[in-house]
Structure 1
Amino acid sequence: MKKKIFKKWFFLFIFSPKILFSQFQICFHNQFLNSELILDKKYAMSNDSISISSLNYYVSKISIFNDSNLIYEDRKLGHLISHEINQSPCIKLECDQKIKFNRISFNLGIDSVTHIKGVLGGDLDPTKGMYWTWNSGYINFKIEGYSSRSSGKNHLFQFHIGGYQFPFNSCQKIDLTLKRNSTIDIYFDVFNVLNGINLQENYQIMRPCKSAVEIANLSKNAFYIE
């Protein structure tokens, strides 16, 4: 009896159709007014002269859907998107090459479940400069630069947006509809963030607070698919 069961299982294993896996990419393109963001370049914006010196943010909990059906879920706890390192970084995912998908969701930032795991490695290593050791938490989104309207020293601004506990949880879920079943190109326009901030009055955030959550909401709405 055992031999028959083994033979049947072996036959199914050998002759069952194999699932073919392939890699596809999610590429992030940082923009300013629909053009590729260039660090330290001066841009004109609403009677202001602005330049960006640093842009970094975390992407996590990537999920791929076909309508409402979950097709793929990324197991990595977080991906660091750093414009200083790579202007158009791509995240490679491996899944069944026959799947069809039309929607993607991901978090801008690191959620509370990951935070309570403590200090982690890889892209989440504190040496990446995206972790508050004094506050024991990750910085979800960081942007620094110059604005002629900023009241800060040398007209600089700094926004280090973090916080994972109520009422200042700044992690944002983003849901985008896809137009094709291939490489996913996601655009993030910094203009849509800075245009919603009064840089004359609000030029520095370095802790979880109400203003940090407001900027996180602006950042959420700056992502789009062409």
Structure 2
Amino acid sequence: MKKICSLLFVGVILLSTVSCSDDESIAESGPITLEFDNVVGATNLQLNTTNTPYTNAKGEAYKLTWLTYYVSNVKLKKADGTVFEDPIKSDGSAGYYLVDENDAASQEITLKNVPAGDYTEVTFTIGVDASQVDQGAQTGALDPAKGLFWSWNSGYIFLAIEGVSPASTETENVFQYHVGGYKADAASSQVNNVRTITLSFNGDTAPVRAQHEPEVHLLFDVNKFFNGTGEQVTFSTNASRHSPKACETLAGNIAASFVVDHVHAN
């Protein structure tokens, strides 16, 4: 009888230890939100305006009707140098996010179970490396029903921006830039336009704790995308691009279009 009691006592102690360990593990992680805010210079972007309120570096007026882009492979770096990587799944069910100006909820990406700590830097990819994605039916943000899948050879459109400008010679003065392409292949005129961006928090920290959710506010500036060092867009000469090769220079404008504006420690 004493042996049975002893065994029961040991079992209770072990269960308590495991339970405490689990609780401590949960307590040592928390969420963090990345908010992607689309702007035009110092102005918050508005789609489908009745006029053409924005102007590119060439002095061409325009308005936007659609803006969307894929964010993937998110990594957060702590002040001590350790890195958290957001888990991804090759069927698209995790780790891939589609930020859409038409969908406010999509502009806030919340990462859960992030190890507690003070984070000072974020890295993310604009695009989808289709070589890391299962061929066949995709789910979540990568569902072809989203209208952003070209083919397995060309991959996904990972940044789509459309609008209207009086300078455009296309039908109804529209412009359309669909940036994609995940591999370099000279024989088939394929190029790799996937871009990975690393941004510091400008001296701020995002303190992740249990029951404490900091928010990192990032800006994507449309004019920086149009006016970047890769190419300065002119709607009057080339307002429609729908292939990886045609958008190669535009992809060079992506990295400088994103900045960290501020961090809410909450």
Q: Which residue is equivalent to 1:204? A: 240
Contact kept, 8 Å, 2:155 with 2:182, in 1: the verdict is yes
- Check if 1:36 corresponds to 2:44: yes
Structure 2 unaligned segments of length 5 or more: list them: 1-6, 89-93, 186-190, 207-213, 262-266
Contact kept, 8 Å, 2:154 with 2:244, in 1: the verdict is no
CA distance 1:115–1:148, change in 2 (3 Å): farther
For 1:147, the aligned partner's letter is: S
TM-score (norm 2): 0.75
RMSD over equivalenced CA pairs, Å: 2.4
Among 18, 21, 33, the residue aligned to 2:24: 18
CA distance 1:87–1:192, change in 2 (3 Å): farther
* Post-superposition offset of 1:69: 1.9
Structure 1 unaligned segments of length 5 or more: list them: none
For 2:70, the aligned partner's letter is: Y
Q: Which residue is equivalent to 1:180? A: 205
Q: Which residue is equivalent to 2:264? A: none
- Check if 1:27 corresponds to 2:35: yes
Q: Which residue is equivalent to 1:55? A: 67
Contact kept, 8 Å, 1:77 with 1:114, in 2: the verdict is no
Q: Which moved more, 1:157-166 or 1:194-203?
A: 194-203
Write out aligned runs for 1:29-108 (5 A). 29-41=37-49, 42-45=52-55, 46-67=58-79, 68-75=81-88, 76-86=94-104, 89-96=107-114, 98-108=116-126
For 1:169, the aligned partner's letter is: N
TM-score (norm 1): 0.87
Q: Which moved more, 1:139-148 or 1:118-127?
A: 118-127
* Post-superposition offset of 1:97: 6.2
Q: Which residue is equivalent to 2:132? A: 114
What SS class does the counterpart of residue 165 from structure 1 fall into?
strand
Q: Which residue is equivalent to 2:209? A: none
Q: Could you give the per-residue CA deviations for residues 29-58 of structure 1, whole angstroms, max 9, x where no partner exists? A: 011112210002322424221000000110
Among 189, 211, 215, the residue aligned to 2:221: 189
Contact kept, 8 Å, 1:115 with 1:164, in 2: the verdict is no
Contact kept, 8 Å, 2:98 with 2:106, in 1: the verdict is no
* Post-superposition offset of 1:87: 7.5
Could you tell me the percent identity over the aligned residues? 24
2: CA distance, partners of 1:134 / 1:153: 30
For 2:36, the aligned partner's letter is: F
* Post-superposition offset of 1:205: 0.9
Q: Which residue is equivalent to 1:163? A: 181
CA distance 1:96–1:201, change in 2 (3 Å): closer
What SS class does the counterpart of residue 79 from structure 1 fall into?
strand
For 2:24, the aligned partner's letter is: K
Contact kept, 8 Å, 1:109 with 1:140, in 2: the verdict is yes
* Post-superposition offset of 1:112: 3.5
Runs of 4+ in 1 over 6 A off after TM superposition: none
Q: Which moved more, 1:103-112 or 1:176-185?
A: 176-185
CA distance 1:192–1:15, change in 2 (3 Å): closer
